[in-house]
Amino acid sequence: MSMLRFTRRGTVMAAAALALAACGSGSESSESGTNSGGTDSNRVVLQDIVFGDPDAPVTLVEYASWTCPACLVFHTRVMPTVKADYVDTGKLKLVFREFPTAPANVTVAGFALARCTEGQAYYDLLDELFMRQDAILTLARQGGPVVEALKQVASNHGIDGDEAFQACLDSQENRDAIRASIAAADGDNVTGTPTFFLNGERMEDSARISVASFTGELDAAYAASTGE
C-alpha cells in the first residue's frame, strides 16, 4: 500500500532534549520552486487551511509538521490558549500550512488524511496525529505497522475502510495542496518548523517558547491593527 512520496532536504531531531528546537527543513516535491525574493506571507490562498474569522484583524501563518517534536510542544502548550483567546474570539485567523519533516512519506500521508476532512475536522484529525506522534515515529523507526496506525486515526475521523484510506493518499488534489504549502514555505524562506508569520512579519523563534511571550506578540499585533 503506497504512501505519498517527497524528496527530503533535511532530517528531524527527535530526541526529547531537543523538543524546543525547531525541526529540520521540510520535504520538497520536484514541482516546488524556490522564490528567493519571498512571498506575501499574509496572503491566504485557495489551498490554505484557515481557522477563525476570515476578516479577523490579525493573521497568523503557521508552518508546521505533525511529526516535529517542537511543533508538538507548541501544539500542546501554547496553541490551546491561542485558539481559545484569539481564534475563537474573532481576534485572529490562523492559516495552517503543512511543511513535512522526516519521515516525509509518513508525515505527508497524515496530512493527506487530514485534507480529506473539512473545517474543524481537519484540526481534530491533526490533533490526534500530534497526540500519537511518539507512537507513530517509534513504529516508523522500528519498521512497525505505520499504515495500520494511520488507518486507525483515519477511521476515528470518518475515513473508513481501505478504499477510502487509499483514496485520500492517492488524491491529486491533496498532493497538489501539500506541494503548494511546501512551495509557499520555500517562497517565505522557511527552513524549519514551527515557523510563524504574524501579519506578514516573521516571528522570532523565542516567541513560541511560552504562552506569555507568544500571546504578548499577538496582543501587540492586535493593538496595532485595531488601535485598541
At 81 the pLDDT is 98
The whole-number average pLDDT for the span 8-18 is 30
In a domain, 126, yes or no: yes
Dihedral (Cα; 199, 203, 209, 214), 10-degree rounding: -30
pLDDT in tens, 96-110: 999 999 999 999 999
In a domain, 139, yes or no: yes
The whole-number average pLDDT for the span 118-122 is 90
Nearest CA-CA partner of 194 in 76, 85, 54, 42: 76
In a domain, 1, yes or no: no
The whole-number average pLDDT for the span 1-5 is 44
At 23 the pLDDT is 82
In a domain, 40, yes or no: no
1 pLDDT band, cuts 50/70/90, is very low
- Sequence letter at residue 83: K
In a domain, 176, yes or no: yes
Percent above pLDDT 90 for the chain = 77
Q: What is the pTM assigned to this prediction?
A: 0.83
At 80 the pLDDT is 97
Beta strand spans in the chain (E): 49-51, 58-64, 92-98, 195-198, 201-202
- Helix then strand then coil, in percent of the chain rounded to 5, is 50, 10, 40
At 43 the pLDDT is 55
The whole-number average pLDDT for the span 14-28 is 45
In a domain, 85, yes or no: yes
Domain of residue 212: give its range: 47-221
In a domain, 151, yes or no: yes
Pairwise CA distance, residues 202 & 196, whole Å: 6
pLDDT in tens, 45-69: 458 899 999 999 999 999 999 999 9
Q: Is the separation of the CB atoms in 203 and 196 below 8 Å? A: yes
At 13 the pLDDT is 30
- pLDDT at residue 36 above 80? no
Pairwise CA distance, residues 143 & 96, whole Å: 30
Pairwise CA distance, residues 207 & 216, whole Å: 9
Length of the chain counted residue by residue:
228
Pairwise CA distance, residues 63 & 82, whole Å: 15
In a domain, 17, yes or no: no
**How does the average pLDDT of the chain come out, rounded?**
85
- The more confidently predicted of residues 37 and 115 is 115
- pLDDT at residue 44 above 70? no
pLDDT in tens, 176-215: 999 999 999 999 999 999 999 999 999 999 999 999 999 9
28 pLDDT band, cuts 50/70/90, is very low
Number of domains in the chain: 1
What CATH number has the domain bearing residue 132? 3.40.30.10
For 149, residues 6+ apart whose C-beta sits below 8 A from its C-beta are 132, 135, 136, 139
Residue that has been written with the C-alpha cell 475502510 in this structure: 161
At 14 the pLDDT is 29
- The more confidently predicted of residues 7 and 100 is 100
At 180 the pLDDT is 93
Cell of 66: 505533525
